[in-house]
Amino acid sequence: MTFVVTDNCIRCKYTDCVEVCPVDCFYEGPNFLVINPDECIDCALCEPECPAEAILSEDELRDDQKDFLELNRELSEVWPNITEKKDPLPDAEEWDGVANKLEHLDRG
């Protein structure tokens, strides 16, 4: 199993989760974070740290979220690794909880 960053992270990009990850499996894009599923050890430390509640266990994904597992895999292969907390995006609070944000994903 792995943990997966889902669409509520888009345009928020809180990075509280990266500080607690013991294997540094987070990768950073312009407005989204992803987890490399091959590096994740399923420790569950990141999930409660996400203010946007955007991180879920693979087995908790709803049918409409299943594509995020492959999206995390794909983008973690091209985006740089992130290991330290940064400030969220300036308008993160406005975007937190907005539904269907995939169209706003910047693949950079």
- Domains in the chain: ranges and CATH: 3-88 (3.30.70.20)
* Predicted local distance difference test score (pLDDT) of residue 76: 98
* Predicted local distance difference test score (pLDDT) of residue 71: 98
* Predicted local distance difference test score (pLDDT) of residue 64: 94
Residues of the chain where predicted confidence (pLDDT) is lower than 70 = none
Phi, psi values for residue 15, rounded to 5°: -120, 20
34: helix, coil or strand?
strand
* Predicted local distance difference test score (pLDDT) of residue 40: 98
